[in-house]
Amino acid sequence: MATTTAALLAANLHGVFGERDAARRRQAALALYADDVRFTDPEETVVGREALLAKAAALLEGAPGAVFADDGPLYAGADRAALAWRFGPADGEPFARGVDVVRIADGRITELVTLLA
Cα–Cα dist 20/3, whole Å: 23
Cα–Cα dist 116/86, whole Å: 10
Angle at 70 between CA 67 and CA 31, to 5 degrees: 80
Domain ranges of the chain: 5-116
Q: How confident is the model at residue 2 (pLDDT cuts 50, 70, 90)?
A: low
Q: How many CA atoms lie within 13 A of 16 on its CB side?
A: 28
Is 114 buried (19+), middle (13-18) or exposed (0-12) by CB count in 10 A?
Answer: buried
Fold of 5-116: Nuclear Transport Factor 2; Chain: A, (3.10.450)
Cα–Cα dist 33/8, whole Å: 9
pTM summary value:
0.94
pLDDT one-digit tens code per residue, 86-101: 999 999 999 999 999 9
pLDDT one-digit tens code per residue, 6-62: 999 999 999 999 999 999 999 999 999 999 999 999 999 999 999 999 999 999 999
